[in-house]
A and B are shown apart, each in its own frame.
Chain A
Amino acid sequence: MNFVRGYALPRLVQWAVVIFVGATVTFLIPRLLPTDPVEQTLNRVSATSVTDPRAVESFRNALKDLYGLQGTPLEQYLNFWSRLVRGDLGPSLGAFPTPVTQIIRDGLPWTIGLLGTTLVLSWFLGLVLGTLAAYYGNRRWSHVLSGVLVTLYPIPYFILALVLVMVFAYYIPLFPLVGGASGQASLSPAYIGSIIGHSFLPAVSLVLGGTAFRFIIARSLASGVISSDHVTYAELAGLPRRRIVFAYIMRNSLLPQVTDLALALGALFEGALITEFVFSYPGIGYRLYTAILQSDFNMIMGVTFFSIVGIATAALFIDLLYPLVDPRVRYR
């Protein structure tokens, strides 16, 4: 009971606040900015075809209805919420009348697959490599590894992904340039193989960036633990190296890394969006990119709101699972 009141409840409230603020911000931005999506769409349509004024007027009303711009601001806001609660983000304007939620649902497995795999891989790799590099700080390989990852870390995702595409899909065509898979969707080995082949390069770009970040933190955390007494004692006792590194050093630097995971999730999600544009990988990020190209306002708004909800919920899950790793939270 104490755990629920002291730990879980504040986090649930925080989650609700994030959703509320996110929805309100996505509601306010289009209404506060000087540009009017209705007029923009009308201009685009009337630029290509000649229409009589009455048709334009009825089209304007239809568009206003579509964007939820009818009525007073308060009515609009309440209407906006009632649609959100029903899971209705409006129709996509680029692929009319497919609902935005449908498009997001189609893209979601790709993004979650890519993000989940790379998150786990980069977290694990960064943690192990960082701890090892800190423990064997004087070895040559440790210096080389640190040098490479420290150089990679600050490079913007877009540049990293672009260079990978240039080198490994364009000049040395080892990997396919675009798409998520080729052939008919099935559980056959050929199709699964093509999924792996297509997602290999996007995943590598994300894993490189994520590992570099995790590596730097793991290295500095581990070097703090190495200088503590219990490690010195373990070394004097002649315990096996592997046990010292994994059970004595890594175990103790694990906690901050788990806390960090919820916060790093947002950054990794942004990385995944960028990676998908660059590799034309059919997840949410790529659909967002097509929406920008097609000036599909509803879709952009839908993806924005959805990513706020998705990231907040994922962060909540990590927070609620945290007591499994850190017993101190449970017994407080």
Chain B
Amino acid sequence: MIRDVNVSTPAVESLPSTEVLAERQRQNLLLFTVGRDLFRFSGAFRLGAVLLLCLLGMAALSLVAPYAADARRVVPNDRPPSLQFLLGTTALGQDVFWLTTFAIRNSLFVATVAVLISRTIAVLNGSFSGYVGGAVDRVLSSITDTFIVIPRLPLLILISFMVRGSLNLVALAILIGLLDWAFPSKRYRAQVLSLREEEFTQTATFAGMGTFKIILREHLPFLIPFLMADAVSGFLFAIGIEITLSILGLSDLSMPTIGTMIYWSNYYQVLLAKHLWWIGAPLVSSVLLVVSLYLLSTSLGTYLDPRTRLKSLAVRGAG
């Protein structure tokens, strides 16, 4: 299979012609129109986009934060929200507002890296297994089926317990990514199975394209809509797992993430002390984050699904 890549025909590799450039421009324009249409017609998309932009803005604010991410005892302890400290301060002498900006940024970072890893494995595994078929497919599929059944949380707890203390954000992200590819693989495989029967696949094969090239150049573009919706479920999983491991005290507790903020606020018993601002900030931002991502993904999914588009046309026609 590796040989196929090396023998890639030079004709295809030549400089992009004007037609190719025009096609790319058209695609970019198409993406823009899709975004604009969704923003105009779908309330869920609008709400999700605005919420996510606000949260990304919060995360970006952490770059200009007056304190370092892991700084402690820099402000007075346990102050309720005020003009000086927008969301109050913690028992550790941290400003909750700036702490939250770091927490959102770090949680998003962990989730993004985890999704990149898991979806790369899933797309490659799924499409390779679906495209090649035969014995390769049987072996890859049974590996995937095995990993689907294995419950991931106890395994994650075992691993992070063993390396407690040395599990930084990157290691955590990689760990989550390596455990979340099995279920999506199955779906990509199913999609490629049907793409394989299309005429353009045969044209590409006869034109001498290698397996990897067909998967990446010809099939991947068709998987992208599904990939976008699926990536969101990867985000939700990663954010949830980060929170779970942190609250159990198994991640790097010195770095502010949504999970570690909840861990420390629990540790200082905010519920008894009625210092709700400390635990409220990570709770609210995590809920807003997952809900906004989910709204974006479902509205995109509905938009891309031809059945619902026909339905809405029919409704509009009747009305």
Chain A residues with a Cβ under 8 A of chain B: 14, 17-18, 21-22, 25-26, 29-30, 33-35, 37, 150-151, 153-159, 162-163, 166, 170, 224, 227, 263, 266, 269-270, 273-274, 277, 288-289, 292, 295, 297, 300-301, 303-304, 307-308, 311-312, 315
Contacts and interface: CB of A to CB of B under 8 A. Distances in A.
Contact of B162 (A35, A157, A311): A35
Interface in B138-173: 142, 145-155, 157-159, 161-164, 166
Given A17-B146, A266-B149, A304-B157, A154 B291 contact: yes
The 10 closest A-B pairs by CB, nearest first: A156-B240, A154-B294, A154-B290, A304-B154, A270-B153, A33-B162, A266-B151, A304-B158, A307-B154, A18-B149
Contact of A166 (B247, B249, B271): B271
Contacts of B286: 155-156, 159
Contact of B154 (A151, A277, A303): A303
B122 interface: no
Given A154-B294, A277-B248, A162 B262 contact: yes
Contacts of A227: 307, 311
Contacts of A159: 243, 283, 286-287
Contacts of A157: 240, 244
Contacts of A266: 148-152
Contact of A25 (B155, B161, B243, B248): B155
B91 interface: no
15 contacts: A14-B142, A14-B146, A30-B162, A35-B162, A156-B243, A263-B183, A289-B248, A295-B161, A300-B158, A300-B161, A303-B154, A307-B151, A308-B149, A308-B154, A311-B151
B55 interface: no
A301 B290 CA distance: 31
Given A158-B243, A289-B248, A33 B163 contact: yes
Main secondary structure of the interface of A (DSSP, over half): helix
Contacts, number: 122
Contacts of A163: 283
B239 interface: yes
A154 B291 CA distance: 6
Interface in B219-257: 236, 239-240, 243-244, 247-250
A295 to B, nearest CB: 8
A37 B163 CA distance: 10
Given A29-B158, A158-B240, A263-B183, A21 B148 contact: no
B157 A292 contact: yes
A224 B142 CA distance: 30
Contacts of A30: 158, 162
Nearest to A303: B154
A289 B153 CA distance: 12
Contacts of A166: 271
B293 interface: yes
A18 B157 contact: no
Contacts of A304: 154-155, 157-158
B77 interface: no
A273 B153 contact: yes
B283 A162 contact: yes
Given A157-B240, A311-B149, A312-B149, A35 B293 contact: no
A145 to B, nearest CB: 15
B151 A14 contact: no
A21 B147 CA distance: 9
B191 interface: no
A274 B240 CA distance: 11
Contacts of A21: 146-147, 150
A157 B244 CA distance: 9
B201 interface: no
Contacts of B152: 266, 270
> Which of A157, A159, A315 gathers most chain B CB within 10 Å?
A159
Contacts of A307: 151, 154
Contacts of A35: 162-164, 166
Nearest to B165: A35
A172 to B, nearest CB: 13
B298 interface: yes
Contacts of B150: 18, 21-22, 25, 266, 308, 311-312
A164 to B, nearest CB: 12
Contacts of B236: 154, 156
A288 B290 contact: no
A297 B164 CA distance: 12
A151 B247 CA distance: 23
B178 to A, nearest CB: 12
Contacts of B157: 288, 292, 300, 304
Contact of B247 (A26, A150, A158, A300): A158
B235 to A, nearest CB: 9
Contacts of A224: 307
B290 A263 contact: no
Nearest to A26: B158
A292 B153 contact: no
Nearest to B241: A156
B244 A274 contact: yes
B299 to A, nearest CB: 11
Contacts of B248: 277, 289, 292
Given A154-B291, A170-B271, A277-B248, 20 more contacts: A17-B142, A22-B150, A29-B158, A156-B243, A156-B290, A157-B240, A158-B262, A159-B287, A224-B307, A266-B148, A266-B149, A266-B151, A269-B151, A277-B247, A288-B154, A288-B157, A292-B157, A303-B154, A304-B158, A307-B151
